Amino acid sequence: MKTTDLVDNQYLRSDLPDLRAGDEVKVHVRVVESGKERIQIFQGNIIAIQGSGVAESYTVRKLSYGVGVERTFPKHSPAVAKVELMHRGEVRRAKLYFLRERTGKAAKIREKRES
C-alpha cells in the first residue's frame, strides 16, 4: 500500500462496470458549453486500459463517418457521468491497436457468448 492510497481512496468510483479491452461501451460525458452543462454520449470499443488506482484510464475508439476517433477517459473522473456496457468483446489481446488500420467490417469485434 502506498502512502497516497489513503487520500486517493476517497475519489475511487464504485458505480462503474468491470471494463475490459474489446468491450463496446457508451460513455456519458458531461460537457460544459457557455455556462450550460449537457451530456454527450461517446459509443465505441475499448482498445486499451492503462494505469491503476485513481490514475486508471481507458481508450475508446469509434468510427465516425469513416474516420476513426479515439478518446481517453480517466476511469474515476467526475466528468464521466456514467458508463454503459453494451456487450463484451471476444479478444485475445490486452491492447487492440491493430484496429487503427482497419475500417468497416474488418474492424468489428466478435461478441463474447455468455454460457
| pLDDT for res 13 | 84
pTM, to two decimals: 0.87
C-alpha grid cell, residue 31? 460537457
Strand partners, 31: 38
Lowest mean pLDDT among 10-14, 48-52, 90-94, 110-114: 10-14
97 φψ region: left (φ > 0), alpha (ψ -120 to 50), beta (else): alpha
What class is the 11-94 domain?
mainly beta
| pLDDT for res 114 | 77
Q: Which of 80, 21, 74 is nearest to 52 (CA)?
A: 74
Judged against a pLDDT cut of 90, whether residue 97 lies above it is answered with yes
| pLDDT for res 73 | 95
| pLDDT for res 36 | 94
Grid cell 463496446 in the structure block, residue: 24
Q: Is 29 exposed, middle or buried (0-12, 13-18, 19+ CB in 10 A)?
A: middle
| Interatomic CA distance for residues 54 and 59, integer angstroms | 16
Judged against a pLDDT cut of 80, whether residue 1 lies above it is answered with no
Amino acid at 92: R
Domain locations in the chain?
Answer: 11-94
Lowest mean pLDDT among 6-10, 46-50, 82-86: 6-10
Instruction: Average the pLDDT over 25-34 and give the result.
Output: 95
